[in-house]
Amino acid sequence: MELNITVSIIFIATLLHLASGIPGFFLGRRSPMGQYLAALMAVIGSLMGLWGALLILNGPASGYYELPWGLPIGHFTLQLDGLTSFFLIPIFIMGALGAIYGLGYWKQSEHPENGRQLRFFYGILVGSMSLVVMARDGIFFLIAWEAMALSAYFLITTEDQDEKVRQAGWIYLVATHAGSLCLFGLFALFYRATGHFGFQPFQPGMVSPWILTSIFFLALIGFGFKAGIFPLHFWLPGAHANAPSHVSALMSGVMIKMGVYGILRVCWMIPSPPLSWGIILLILGTLSSLLGVLYALGQHDLKRLLAYHSIENIGIIFMGLGLSLVGRSCHHPDLIILGMAGCLLHIWNHGLFKSLLFLGAGSVIHATGTRQIDKMGGLSKTMPYTGGLFLLGAVAICGLPPLNGFISELFIYLGLFKTLMNGSGTQAVPFSLGLAAPALAMTGALAVACFVKVTGIVFSGEPRSEKAAKSHESPKTMLIPMALLALGCLMIGLLPLLVTPWLDKVIVEGNSELMGIGLKVDYLAPLGWVSGLGMGLLLMIGILFTWLRYRLIREKTPQRGTWDCGYAAPTNRMQYTASSFAQMLVNQFDGILKPKEHRPELKGLFPTSSHFESHIDDSILDRVLKPVIHRIQKGVYQFRWFHQGLTQPYILYIIVTVLILLALSSTLGDRFMSFILP
Amino acid sequence: MVQILIHILLLVIIPPLFLGIINKTKACFAGRKGMPVLQPYYDLAKLFRKKSVISRTTGWVFQAGPVVTVSCLLFAGLMIPFYRINPSLSFYGDLILFAYLLGLARFFTTAAALETGSSFEGMGSAREVTFACLAEPGMFLGFLALARLTGTLSLSGILTGVSLGAGTLLAPVLLVAAGLFIILLAENCRIPVDDPNTHLELTMIHEVMVLDHSGPMLGLIQYGAALKYFILGSVLVDILLPDSNQFFLIELGLFLGAMGLLSIMTGIVESVMARLPMRRVPNLLVAACLLCGVGFLLIGR
């Protein structure tokens, strides 16, 4: 009985989110009521949803629920277990915070043309994500998945008057449907293997290894597109950069994690995965994290840069996931726990700090009207709160103590170091897996480089443009969501033991072999030490800083200009820029990044003004996909006469195709059909 | 308890001494009399007495920079054993926290440099973070090798477990030590990576980042530099000193002597070598990574 109540709470919460944009359509274009109603519904929905999810995470059991109304195929089955609740928490947190942020960022009065549409699809996206993690039936899952994918498309193309936005939307749409195609194949195989669309674990020996391998790789590609793992990441930078900032925060912080959720769910259904899967995930994760951060370094667009960092962090999440799979294959419980804990906690952590950073970026863009880092500067004076919160997010995303990023990376490091020790496993873990640890260290160092660049160029120094000089602090509706996210970063960083019971619950739920062992995350990681030291460090910094401030104020410290080597007329444009800061690193890796520079040609004695430009194109999108697609396009030009632009011929094509398929199936008979359906 | 007290006292008091030894060595090589060995202490005392001037471009991050750096280094130092003197803090996996505390220190040093808006300091911090990206994996490779060798994951276990002498593999330990020596020079911005003597040259890394700091802030930074050298130096010394079971005082003497020797060696390197061109520095750091990596392979085989 009580369980049903919990399910109802979360279901109502989901419905509230789904419907939150609808009242706005009945109100006038210029009426501000719609946005307040939407935010109110989102907040109430999220509070209910969080309450329900915490009930499940703290409770012993998980709720299973089947709605009486059915679907044409499949069932309307929902389940609330630990993993679902674990993912519901970031969904509901960002759902509410983004809606509040939107009140200041995307005011209906300032955007009468698309404000209502934005809020409608925002609600749909949050609600459909919550259905995605609750669905326990293949068809229902796909419906929710598509609702999520499409609402995200409409959110990305909010400002569809801009050609770049439309292009980014198209690329996203193509990528997400390529992924969906794999998922259709995945569920077809599911059905073939089990005879139903439910998400029950496969019995060992019931399904042939060939099908299991296909399921794994289809899941990897299908969900990998959504997660944005390298090399399937190419839609992500454009989409995240061109969407409104709170949408970017929701997509980057939460939506791409749905891909990780999918892979996790599938991996948990497969008994005893082979060692190679874990290694593949680990290698993909390592590649993704290194390349993501390298590409981020070369970006001048604040949101594109953050988007590349999502690729990096998804890589780190995959490293944890791969490690846990290796642990399952080698029967090494420490690896399972540490890998899973790193993967799961990094999902939350990334949700917190990346959302914080995107909201901060939105605040900066709101104030300066540009996304170009090199046009900003000195913003910490005009917008001190945004500056401070962004700095906190930056320290967190670099994985530095005493914030939350460090905790999840610590789990992964410990797991990687554990591969070197001869554990109690029956099968030896290849020691070369430990080499991912230096790669992760390099990722961390590169992330520090990148975020020093961002905070330094955007918030420090003098303003580099007029707009930056005239910037202003954002309203409270934008600052409060950021402050709450920052608080989350600090809490998990300083008190990680608060969240480990939930991690334990989810990990044991997915890996039944751990049931009797009684190992826990906090036995394997020195979390007590880390939180004690983190607090000690903060205390010491606080004391020293207060002393320093006291001295500086007591001594009436004079303020002068920055030392300029005696040069008489320095200008703000002579400051170091984001490009110059990153140049040395970019040149180190120019074999991978292939930076393009457009140098001015200087002629004569007194050359007139000129300009220099450098950019780094995406490896996959610009260097592989675009040329290949261009060539394919040329090849299929001959078929252009098929396209008349009239509906009738297209219907004819569909009918002909169906007829051909029917004829095929009747001639090939049952053998053909049995390949698709058992 | 006494040991913890001694450990903390050593950590807090002794680091500037070794900078003095380096300077004295360099002076000897140059045929100068040189400043007294204790000069770094006098400098620190002077700086902490002085008033500061700050740039009006800067904000609180500029002031927080030195504070965070020194705090991080002190906490990192608490985890390092000084030969047989056990560290005040030691737990499973502390080496990761150690490396990341150095990372946090670097974040705030470089962010504080960018606060000034000066191109010089921008250059310095860009170089600092660039070289760190190559030094960091080298350090982890080294730790990885040593962790595999000793089978533990705490710094005190690793550093007291490895020692030159009977029972441990000589070649990998030497390789890792060589790699860590290069990283020591790079992280502390010494020749051949950086020249701590020149001021306001385009060759600078560390000194140029702190150009606008003055008074107690500069004092904190100088003290932090000494701490960093001492901490990373003692990692190296711990690895290289042979195992012993002597009286406490003899062990303390051995440690201090070895640190002194290391400082003299650093001084010699600074005296006989020229600074590498900036574009060559990454090659040197990659070499350090390779040394540690080969060490790891030799142990892992």
Q: Is the pLDDT of residue A231 over 80?
A: yes
C-alpha of A148 from chain center: 14
Q: Number of folded domains in chain B? A: 1
Q: Predicted ipTM?
A: 0.95
**B299 in contact with A at a CB cutoff of 8 Å?**
no
- pLDDT, residue A272, reads 82
Q: What does DSSP say about strands A596-598 and A559-560: parallel, antiparallel, or unpaired?
A: unpaired
Give the pLDDT band (50/70/90) at residue A665.
confident
Q: CB A461 to CB B116 under 8 A?
A: yes
**A438 in contact with B at a CB cutoff of 8 Å?**
yes
Which among A391, A442, A462 has CB closest to B136?
A442
How far is residue A531's CA from residue B76's CA, in Å, rounded to a whole number?
15
- Give the mean pLDDT of chain A: 89
**B93 in contact with A at a CB cutoff of 8 Å?**
yes
Which among B52, B96, B113 has CB closest to A410?
B96
Q: Is the pLDDT of residue A336 over 70?
A: yes
Q: CB A545 to CB B67 under 8 A?
A: yes
- Reduced to 3 states, what is the DSSP secondary structure of residue A79? strand
A32 burial via Cβ count (<10 Å: 0-12, 13-18, 19+): middle
- pLDDT, residue B2, reads 86
For residue A564, the chain B residue with the least C-alpha distance is B118
How far is residue A101's CA from residue A477's CA, in Å, rounded to a whole number?
5
A257-271, B207-221, B242-256, range with the lowest pLDDT: B242-256
Q: What is the pLDDT of residues A42-63, one digit of tens each?
A: 999 999 999 999 988 888 766 7
**B213 in contact with A at a CB cutoff of 8 Å?**
no
**A406 in contact with B at a CB cutoff of 8 Å?**
yes
Q: What is the DSSP letter of A135?
A: B
Q: Is the pLDDT of residue B100 over 70?
A: yes
**B207 in contact with A at a CB cutoff of 8 Å?**
no
Quote the Cα angle for A317-A323-A325, to 5°: 105
Which among A445, A457, A559 has CB closest to B56?
A559
**B49 in contact with A at a CB cutoff of 8 Å?**
no
Residue pair B112/B62 in contact by the 8 Å Cβ criterion:
yes
Task: Please spell the DSSP secondary structure of A80-107, one letter per residue.
Answer: E-HHHHHHHHHHHHHHHHHHHHHHHHS-
**B139 in contact with A at a CB cutoff of 8 Å?**
yes
Q: Among residues of chain A, what percentage have pLDDT more than 70? A: 96
> Whole domain around residue B281: which residue ranges?
2-300
Q: CB A449 to CB B130 under 8 A?
A: yes
Q: What is the pLDDT of residues A60-72, one digit of tens each?
A: 766 777 777 666 6
Number of cross-chain residue pairs from A and B with Cβ atoms under 8 Å apart: 248
Q: Is the pLDDT of residue A424 over 90?
A: no
How far is residue A657's CA from residue A651's CA, in Å, rounded to a whole number?
10
**A445 in contact with B at a CB cutoff of 8 Å?**
yes
- pLDDT, residue A643, reads 80
Q: Could you tell me the CA-to-CA distances from B100 to A77, A294, A398, A406, A456 in Å, in that order? A: 45, 19, 9, 8, 20
- pLDDT, residue A1, reads 42
**A515 in contact with B at a CB cutoff of 8 Å?**
no
How far is residue B136's CA from residue B237's CA, in Å, rounded to a whole number?
19
For residue A584, the chain B residue with the least C-alpha distance is B130
Q: Residue ranges per domain, chain A? A: 1-271, 285-555+576-595, 643-678
Q: CB B117 to CB A462 under 8 A?
A: yes
Q: CB A544 to CB B91 under 8 A?
A: no
**B72 in contact with A at a CB cutoff of 8 Å?**
yes
- pLDDT, residue A678, reads 45
- pLDDT, residue A606, reads 84
Beta carbons within 10 angstroms of residue A622's beta carbon: 15
Ramachandran angles phi, psi of A615, nearest 5°: -150, 160
Q: Could you tell me the CA-to-CA distances from A317 to A227, A312, A328, A416, B262 in Å, in that order? A: 10, 9, 17, 13, 41
For residue B141, the chain A residue with the least C-alpha distance is A438
Beta carbons within 10 angstroms of residue B84's beta carbon: 19
Q: What is the pLDDT of residues A509-519, one digit of tens each?
A: 888 778 777 77
For residue A524, the chain B residue with the least C-alpha distance is B92
pLDDT (mean) for A85-107: 94
Q: CB B212 to CB A563 under 8 A?
A: yes
Residue pair B81/B156 in contact by the 8 Å Cβ criterion:
yes
Q: Which comes out higher in pLDDT, residue A249 or A431?
A: A249
Q: CB A452 to CB B97 under 8 A?
A: no
Residue B171 identity: A
Interface of A with B in 98-137 (CB under 8 A): none
User: Measured between CA atoms, how close is B136 to chain A, in angstroms?
Assistant: 6
Chain B residue numbers with beta carbons less than 8 Å from the beta carbon of A585 are 126, 129-130, 133
Interface of A with B in 460-489 (CB under 8 A): 460-462
Which among A431, A557, A588 has CB closest to B54?
A557
Q: Which comes out higher in pLDDT, residue A566 or A485?
A: A485
How far is residue A488's CA from residue A359's CA, in Å, rounded to a whole number?
15
Q: Is the pLDDT of residue A121 over 80?
A: yes
